[in-house]
Amino acid sequence: MVSPSSPILPFSSVSSPLSSSSKTSPVMKERGYRNWADLPPELTSSILLRLGAIEILENAQKVCKSWHHICKDPLMWRKIDMHNDLGHEHKTICRHKAMCRHVVDRSQGGLVKIDIWYFGTDSLLDYIADSGFTSAIVKLPLLEDLEVSACDLSVESLEVVGKCCPNLKTLKLNNPLINYNDDEFAIVIAECIPKLRHLQLLRNRLTNTGLKAILDSCSHLDHLDLRECSNINLVGDLEMRCYEMIRVLRFTH
């Protein structure tokens, strides 16, 4: 409950979580203050959706009973962002894995996007959708954004992404440790995910051949990030095509 003698405070400053009454005191009404708990549920939900999962679990849902109820709504967990305040200590990673499982449970199968950053493991993906990366993708047909960083992704797995996620608009692949032909990888992107609008390939061994295949097929692409892709020689006709097709182009040089 907001103190009668103070201005309206953000939720993190509100005391006595969950035990506060949702009623606005006479003093607050007289002074023109409004209780956050009195906001329409739709507006409160819209505000809370701008927070990350960790902020919601550790702060927002503890403000009052009405916020706690809204934070348990499966619609709040269609898109899960777990990158807030991440640490790399073992205890922190274990805690975030447990929190991730909890919010996936809250989504009740309605998950369309999940951002789990540095603590993603096969066992965690297994929990999200039965078994491993490809099983997770199969269970997420509404997925629109996918980022795979610092872990291996096979050509076969990418083909599954293209087959099972027809709504995919953003693909970010950031891994310098891959051990297969990156042009083959680019050809899979061109053939299986032609509706991409945003493609990021950082530190990739892609060559002009692979880039040309992507440009030939992905006609909706308007944001292309090829930083540290040292095997691409962006000159001549290929350079002209990139600047004509791509609204936002990022390149090492």
Task: Say whether pLDDT at 146 is over 70.
Answer: yes
pLDDT beyond 90 at 245 = yes
Residues 29 and 124 in one domain: no
Of 128 and 25, which is predicted with more confidence?
128
Domain annotation covers residue 188:
yes
Residues 165 and 49 in one domain: no
Banded model confidence at residue 246, pLDDT cuts 50, 70, 90: very high
Within this chain, do residues 51 and 150 fall inside the same structural domain, yes or no? Answer: no
Domain-terminating residue out of 52, 72, 92: 72
The pLDDT confidence band at residue 21, using thresholds 50, 70 and 90, is very low
Instruction: Specify whether the CB–CB gap between 71 and 59 falls below 8 A.
Output: no
User: For residue 175, what are its two tokens?
Assistant: 């891994």
pLDDT digits (tens, 9 = 90+) for 40-96: 888 888 888 888 888 899 898 998 888 888 998 988 988 888 765 555 555 677 888
Q: Is residue 1 part of a domain?
A: no
Number of domains in the chain: 2
Regarding whether 59 and 134 lie in a shared domain, the answer is no
- pLDDT of residue 115 exceeding 70: yes
Asked whether the whole model's pTM tops 0.95, one would answer no
Give the per-residue pLDDT at 177: 47
The model's confidence at residue 8, banded by pLDDT at 50, 70 and 90, is: very low
Please give the pLDDT value at position 150.
63
Claim to verify: residue 223 and residue 144 sit in the same structural domain: yes
Q: What is the pLDDT of residue 174?
A: 79
Single out the residue in 38, 55, 72 at which a domain terminates: 72
Residues 51, 137 within the same domain:
no
Whether residue 191 sits in one domain with residue 93: yes
Residues 110 and 158 in one domain: yes
State mean pLDDT over 203-209: 89
Q: Which of 8-22, 53-67, 139-153 has the lowest mean pLDDT?
A: 8-22
User: Is residue 114 one of the residues assigned to a domain?
Assistant: yes
Residue range(s) defining the domain that contains residue 62 = 15-72
Q: For residues 151 and 45, state if they share a domain.
A: no
Give me the CATH number covering residue 247: 3.80.10
What pLDDT, on a 0 to 100 scale, did the predictor assign at position 207? 93
pLDDT in tens, 149-170: 766 677 888 898 999 999 999 9
Residue 2 included in any domain: no
Least confident interval from 105-119, 174-188, 206-220: 174-188
Q: How many CB atoms lie within 10 A of CB 106?
A: 20
